[in-house]
Structure 1
Amino acid sequence: MGMTAHARTEIVVLGGGYAGLAAALRLAPQHRVTLVEPRERFVERVRLHQVAAGQAGAVHPYEKILAGTGIRHVTGRAARLDTAGGRVEVETNDGQHLDLGYDRLVYALGSRTKVPALVPATAGTGTTRVYSAETAADLATRMAGRSGKRNGRLAVVGGGLTGIEMATELGEAHPDCEIRLLTAGSLAATLSEPARRHLRSTLDRLGVRVQEDAPVEDPDEVDADAVLWSAAMTPTTGLAAEAGLALDEHGRVRVDAALRSVSHPEIVVAGDAGAGWRMACATAMPTGAHAAGTILQEARGAAAPPFRLKYVLVCMSLGRSDGLVQVLHTDDRPRDLVLTGRPAAWVKERIVSSTIGLLSYAARHPAALRTLLF
């Protein structure tokens, strides 16, 4: 799909996470960009296990990140997508209703923890016993207020990378709390055996009891004072489905090689909402940068190149003094090469810090985002 520079100038980006922010920053020098994101601060999702443990420093004001970029930040939620008219209806945080027109749209609404429907998705009342990464701050408040045996037993449901980071961080921060990690299958099944051996050793050192082959359908099944649900992620694609965008069998938006929606090519998709790659920060920013590149190329009348992603590694925090770096084949299969302990914790911290660092730098030098592309 080609387009001329004067005809495609209004860009709306839905979602201000890693993918949406990367796309908006790369597009801003050449287009008028509106970022629709209800939060006033960018949340480092990869640090939410630290938030759950009561540590600060995982949020950054959008006002500061976007200063001088020309990007308009609308604090609100996209309520309806009119693809035929090229418009987005937005409900702002202060109760207004905006109708935003677009020439191209970046769909980057990401994903959220797939919590069973009967469980409240947010805390707020102080009476819930079930938490997720999205309510990590509420869990931190509860853990900080423990006294005696009250709330002394915590169950983390989900033996993937998120659940492991949560369990180890909380185990280190609250050594007096009885913590269990429940997983439906094997612990960290996507990692190599050397990596899993280190994980088991670390969890044992921190006093976290692991129960494998222990599927949980309902948090009420779990005998614990509090439950941290980290079992699965689900894409935030309800808006896309209602607008008629084609989805795959997992509910993610189907895209072509250039990350355009296969049913609505005026819409490009980035981050966890798109089909074809693993849900992760490591894929969010490259897809965001490439989605923006597709729009920039087509604005010049050029063909957009295909998106190519080569995996390098996956890294994990295991508390503040331990970590794990799993080296990967380019197709995301694990190698037997792993880095552990304090050196791995140092690498993990450098990578996490460089992520927000690159986004902040890209606000002044958008071309830097091209370094994410292979």
Structure 2
Amino acid sequence: MGNGHRIVIVGAGYTGMFSAVRLAHRTRGTGARITLVNASDRFVERLRLHQVAAGQQLAEHRIPDLLAGTGVAFVRGAVTAIDPEARTVTVDGTGDLGYDTLVYALGSSTDTANVPGADVHAHTLDSPQTAGRFAARLAALAATGGAVTVCGGGLTGIEAAAEIAEGHPGLHVTLISREEPGAMMGPRARAHLHRALDRLGVTVETGARITKVLPDAVELADGRLVHSDACLWTAGVKVSPLAARAGIATDDRGLVRVDATLRSVSHPEIHAVGDAAAVRLAYGQLHGTCQSGLPTAQYTADAIARLVRGKAVRPFRFGYVHQPVSLGRRDAVIQFTKADETPRRLHLTGRIAVAYKETVSGSPLLTYRLSKRMNVTTVVSKGGRATRRPAA
């Protein structure tokens, strides 16, 4: 590919940031020029925004500071278009950036469009600003007492409900979910999760389909109204429409369809990572978590570095290891899993689970800093036999 190879990374979330820092180290001496584009200059730890929503103060991190010493150029601005034929990215307020290789790392956001009223009356955890507005609402309610609904019983909803209940014991918190919270866990880990929610005073509405979000209630399909002075929406995600609009091959959700090396099946100069990519392995499609996202970023940085040097690339392999769930600041549950994310018998709870989560699946900032100087491996498992055969 030669010197002066232009690599543009769009999106500076967990995966985009890791791709940029690792690529800078891996392509050193090749003459490659790396540019990272993001709408904000603030690095957001989205996995911790439920803590912000509960009223906790987290340290702020600026993207230029995290990139210091890497040689990566940072461009602040929203990406408004991609032209894969001209190989350009249009950035609001900046113009067009040309690329030879593009890393598509535009992550997901909360989907509030499928239930009437969710986009108007519910809060989200999409940014520090939205989480901060919800925190302010909770603070106002805490003075007099009130009811809070958390819609969506996935990991984000569980962690948010527990955090809110622990931080504001005077509020009545209800977690509304179609499926049983923790259904993907083994029976003992799931039992601990439910005991923790019960201890924190969280009411769980299971098997409930939400039909409407009102200013002061959540309406269920059976006609019941769950009183709500503040509603947090965590049920479902959507991805940026930019790839589909650009004519890049996507699935029915808008995720970039990739081959075994995480390159676009329609435009191989485009690599997709994290929850922007439809990554299929033999056991199924990856879902958007930090556990699988960071390995896609690590793999893609290494793959591009090899391609820049004219070397071959092996297929991406990954296997899940655990499902870590915070239950407030003093409790957690870790369900260890097989590569396909089905539960094993082993699990951790309580303080040891809290320590494990903070050490093994906590903030990636240390990984970014170390990656400026060395190759830091984030892939705990390549999946063994479960990923040796190609995806169906």
Asked if 1:131 is matched to 2:123, the reply is: yes
Contact 2:137 2:230 in 1 (8 A): no
Contact 2:262 2:273 in 1 (8 A): yes
Secondary structure of 1:314's counterpart equals: strand
Secondary structure of 1:359's counterpart equals: helix
Q: For the residues of structure 2 that align with 1:176 and 1:147, how far apart are their CA atoms?
A: 6
- Residue in structure 2 matched with residue 334 of structure 1 by the alignment: 343
Q: For the residues of structure 2 that align with 1:115 and 1:145, how far apart are their CA atoms?
A: 24
TM-score, normalisation: structure 2: 0.87
Aligned residue pairs: how many?
A: 357
Asked if 1:68 is matched to 2:69, the reply is: yes
Secondary structure of 2:347's counterpart equals: strand
Contact 2:319 2:381 in 1 (8 A): no
- Note closer, same or farther for the CA distance 1:147–1:47 as it changes in structure 2 (3 Å cut): closer
- Residue in structure 2 matched with residue 125 of structure 1 by the alignment: none
Secondary structure of 1:39's counterpart equals: coil
- Residue in structure 2 matched with residue 226 of structure 1 by the alignment: 230
Instruction: Give 1:11's match in structure 2, choosing from 7, 10, 22.
Output: 7
TM-score, normalisation: structure 1: 0.91
- Residue in structure 1 matched with residue 94 of structure 2 by the alignment: 97
- Residue in structure 2 matched with residue 308 of structure 1 by the alignment: 317
Superposition pairs for residues 195-214 of structure 1, below 5 Å?
Answer: 195-214=189-208
Secondary structure of 2:211's counterpart equals: coil
Segments of 5+ residues of structure 1 without an aligned counterpart are 122-127
Contact 1:289 1:372 in 2 (8 A): no
Deviation at 1:354, TM superposition (A): 5.1
Secondary structure of 1:133's counterpart equals: coil
The one-letter code matched in structure 1 to 2:269 is E
The one-letter code matched in structure 1 to 2:181 is L
Contact 2:141 2:171 in 1 (8 A): no
- Residue in structure 2 matched with residue 365 of structure 1 by the alignment: 373
Q: For the residues of structure 2 that align with 1:23 and 1:303, how far apart are their CA atoms?
A: 19
Deviation at 1:281, TM superposition (A): 0.6
The one-letter code matched in structure 2 to 1:184 is R
Deviation at 1:352, TM superposition (A): 4.2
Contact 1:193 1:336 in 2 (8 A): no
Root-mean-square deviation (CA), in Å? 1.8
- Note closer, same or farther for the CA distance 1:70–1:44 as it changes in structure 2 (3 Å cut): same
- Note closer, same or farther for the CA distance 1:224–1:58 as it changes in structure 2 (3 Å cut): same
- Residue in structure 2 matched with residue 174 of structure 1 by the alignment: 168
The one-letter code matched in structure 1 to 2:187 is E
Per-residue CA deviation, residues 121-155 of structure 1 (Å, 9 max, x unaligned), is 6xxxxxx64111122111111112235546x1100
Segments of 5+ residues of structure 2 without an aligned counterpart are 220-225, 280-285, 383-392
Deviation at 1:120, TM superposition (A): 7.4
Deviation at 1:283, TM superposition (A): 1.2
Kindly, what percent of the aligned residue pairs are identical?
Answer: 42
Instruction: Give 2:187's match in structure 1, choosing from 185, 193, 197.
Output: 193
- Note closer, same or farther for the CA distance 1:347–1:20 as it changes in structure 2 (3 Å cut): same
- Residue in structure 1 matched with residue 261 of structure 2 by the alignment: 258
Contact 1:26 1:369 in 2 (8 A): no
Contact 1:46 1:352 in 2 (8 A): no
Contact 1:24 1:33 in 2 (8 A): yes
The one-letter code matched in structure 1 to 2:125 is A
Contact 2:321 2:381 in 1 (8 A): no
- Note closer, same or farther for the CA distance 1:171–1:370 as it changes in structure 2 (3 Å cut): closer
- Residue in structure 2 matched with residue 112 of structure 1 by the alignment: 109
Asked if 1:249 is matched to 2:241, the reply is: no
Secondary structure of 2:79's counterpart equals: strand
Contact 1:252 1:274 in 2 (8 A): yes
Deviation at 1:298, TM superposition (A): 1.3
Per-residue CA deviation, residues 295-341 of structure 1 (Å, 9 max, x unaligned), is 11111212211100011111111001100111000121111221011
Secondary structure of 2:141's counterpart equals: coil
